[in-house]
Every structure is written in structure tokens, then in C-alpha cells.
Amino acid sequence: MRSQMCASCGHFFEVEERFAGGIVNCPACGRATEVAGLRDPLWKGLVIAAVVGWIGASSFVASTWGLVPGLAAAAALGLLLWLISRAF
Amino acid sequence: MAFDLTAYTIRRKVLKIFGASFHIYDPSGNVVGFSKQKAFKLKEDIRVYSDASMAEELLTVKARQVIDFSAAYDIVDAGESRKVGAARRKGFASIVQDTWEILDEDDRPVAKVREDSLALALVRRFLSNLVPQKFMVEKEGGGKEAELRVRFNPFIYKLDVRVDPGATLDRRLILGAAVLVSAIEGRQR
């Protein structure tokens, strides 16, 4: 259980963990209020890994073959990452 | 209003690069709603409006977590500012056959949205996604509430929603589930 304050009326109430990051109705005023979410360490890790990989791979291509292929690799990898994110 | 209708069609807007948007049409072809999926949001955030001007918001559908194998989406009546329930995608079951649970505001299951048949679901996954999807909305304990049917059209995504005249399930939950099916399942085509 976690403590939650209604954004509309300021009433404090308890909500179950499964509602974390979601929306519940305040038991006092009945209005929907957002519940603070869990931190998403997995997601943050994935995003950081993707960005580091993207910069690293583009820099490697740029240092090996030059700036234009490096920029092209950055664009292609960025597009690929965006398409992967769309698939989920 | 889209909630009051027993039949409507959700059509995905083509040539949209970021996010997704859908028009909702009544059987006469009039726009009765417009839905927009926000782009670049970590958590899915889908809004349903009364029309494309987006002046009046009808429903808000929001994911609880960024990554969640059995993702739950809260459905809020924006006019009343009240959560009416949620829809939860059954992750493992959906690998072979798309299955959603419709929950009430306290997360108690009230209905299921299930792809029509296992055999067709397997054909769609492993042979051809040209076989259009069909979903049945059934109350817990049995009883058909609505039917969602994707039209055969490889280019434009259209989903026909037929609500049973005797349906007792909250129409807002049916509309929320139909929009979710269009946005989430429709994206996997």
C-alpha cells in the first residue's frame, strides 16, 4: 500500500501497489487522480544503452570512414532505434 | 456521442508519421469521435475527443507502466473526471491469441476481449496477416457484449464495432478497449 493525495480535493488515502503509475478514483470526491509511478530502472537502462550504442557506433564509423558516412550511420541507426521502439 | 452508439467504425488516419490518430464514424459516415495517440510519450497516452477539433475530450486511456508485459491501461471519463475501469493485455496468452481483460475501477475483471479463434490467430501470426482480425467482447461468466471486426484492407486500418443491443457492459469501456485494440494491435500489422 502507498499513500496518495487527491489532486482535486487534497484528501489522503491508501492505494494498492498495483495501481502505481495508474489512475484511481478518490474515495472522498470521486474524481480521478494519478498515482505516482514506480521508477522504471529497466527502461532507463535500455534507453541509456541504446543512446550510448548509437553514439559509439556513429563515432566509430565517423572515425574510420569519415564524417559523412558517420552522419549517415547516425541517421540510419536512429531510424532503426525508432522503428524498434515503435514495434513495442 | 460515440458512447451511445451500438455500431461505429474506427479508421486509422494514414500518412501520420508520429503517433497515431483515428476517426470514429457512425453507420451513416458522420464523425462522432477522434482519437489521438500521443507521440514520443514513454507511457502510452491515448485521448478520445468528440471531433477532430479536439475541443471536447471524452476519454483518456493511459498506460500504468512504461514497460509491462501484461500492460494495464486505465480508462477515464474525461467529462466526469472519473475512472470507469481499465483494460489489461494478457501478455503470455496474446503471444498466440490476442486477449485483453476489461476491469472495473477496482481492477476486478468484468469482461474479456479475445481474438476469434486460435487457428486463425496462428494463421495471422505465422502465415499471413492479411486475414483480418475479429475480437469478441464477452462478459465474465459468458454472454457476448460486442464484436470488433477489422476490415480486409491491407492499406487502411478500419475496425467495425458492433455492440450487442442487450449489452450491460459500460459503453465507455467498450469504446476504450476498441481504441486500444486499434492503437496497440493495429500497430503490429
The model's pLDDT over B100-138, given as tens digits with 9 standing for 90+, comes to: 999 999 999 999 999 888 888 888 777 777 788 899 999
* Whether the Cβ atoms of residue A19 and residue A1 lie closer than 8 Å to each other: no
Task: Say yes or no: B188 contacts chain A, CB-CB below 8 A.
Answer: yes
pLDDT, residue B149, reads 93
Give me the domain span that covers residue B116: 2-188
Q: Are A40 and B65 inside 8 Å of each other by CB?
A: yes
The whole-angstrom distance between residue A45's C-alpha and the CA centroid of its chain comes to 10
Is residue A57 pLDDT above 70, yes or no? yes
Report which of B28, B23, B48 is spatially closest to residue B38, judged by C-alpha positions. Answer: B48
* Mean predicted lDDT score pLDDT of chain B: 86
Q: Is B41 on the interface with A (CB under 8 A)?
A: no
Find the residue in B nearest to A19 (Cα).
B64
* pTM, to two decimals: 0.78
Pairwise CB contact (< 8 Å): B66 & A32: no
Q: Which residue of A has its CA nearest to B87?
A: A22
pLDDT tens digit sequence for B153-174: 878 889 999 999 888 999 999 9
Q: What is the pLDDT of residues B69-103, one digit of tens each?
A: 678 999 999 999 999 999 998 877 777 788 899 99
Local structure of B82: helix, strand or coil: strand
Verify whether the Cβ–Cβ distance B64 to A20 is below 8 Å.
yes
- pLDDT of amino acid B188: 55
Contact A25 B105 (CB under 8 A): yes
3-state secondary structure of B9: strand
- A25–B65 C-beta distance less than 8 A: no
* Chain B touched by A25 (CB under 8 Å): yes
| Interchain contact, A18 vs B62, CB within 8 Å | no
Cβ–Cβ contact B101 with A under 8 A: no
Q: Which residue of B has its CA nearest to A86?
A: B187
Substitution target in B81, B106, B170 with the highest count of A β-carbons within 10 Å is B81
CB-based contact B88:B71 (threshold 8 Å): yes
Looking at chain B, which residue has its C-alpha nearest residue A21?
A: B64
> ipTM of the assembly?
0.80
Q: How far is A88 from chain B (nearest CA, A)?
A: 8
Q: Is A31 close to B81, i.e. CB distance below 8 A?
A: yes
What gap in Å lies between CA A12 and CA A26, rounded to an integer? Answer: 9
Could you tell me how far CA B9 lies from the centroid of its own chain? 11
pLDDT confidence of B13, banded at 50, 70, 90? confident
User: What is the spatial distance between Cα A8 and Cα A14, in angstroms, rounded to a whole number?
Assistant: 16
Q: How many CB pairs under 8 A join A and B?
A: 47
CATH number at residue B109: 3.20.90.10
Domain total in chain B: 1
Contacts of B105 in chain A (CB under 8 A): 24-25
Of A22, A32, A37, Cβ closest to residue B82: A32
Ramachandran area for residue B175 (φ above 0: left; ψ -120 to 50: alpha; else beta): alpha
